[in-house]
Amino acid sequence: FPNQYTEQEARKLGVVGWVKNTSQGTVTGQVQGPEEKVNEMKSWLSKVGSPSSRIDKTNFSNEKEISKLDFSDFNTRY
């Protein structure tokens, strides 16, 4: 199950949020944390991903500074 690798990486970096597979065969999600850690996660999502994934393109949007985290952990949504 590919998202376990994303969860593992997020927890390793200390970012929070969620990830979800879409019916179109893509992945969507939200990541929150210190900018430097979020950037590391973005890099991992763009270049590495889970072993069974093929990354054709990544699109990051709605980036903004927040005063507090909305999530306490990183998990998979269904």
- 36-45, pLDDT tens digit by residue? 999 999 999 9
Domains of the chain: residue spans and CATH: 1-74 (3.30.70.100)
DSSP state of 25: S
Q: Report whether 18 contacts 74 (CB < 8 A).
A: yes
Q: Is the pLDDT of residue 12 over 70?
A: yes
Q: Taking residues 17-27, report their average pLDDT.
A: 91
What 8-state DSSP symbol labels residue 51?
Answer: T
Say whether 74 sits in a helix, a strand or coil. strand
Cβ–Cβ contacts within 10 Å for residue 8, how many? 12
β-strand pairing of 16-21 with 74-76: parallel
Q: Which of 63, 14, 72, 2 is nearest to 41 (CA)?
A: 14
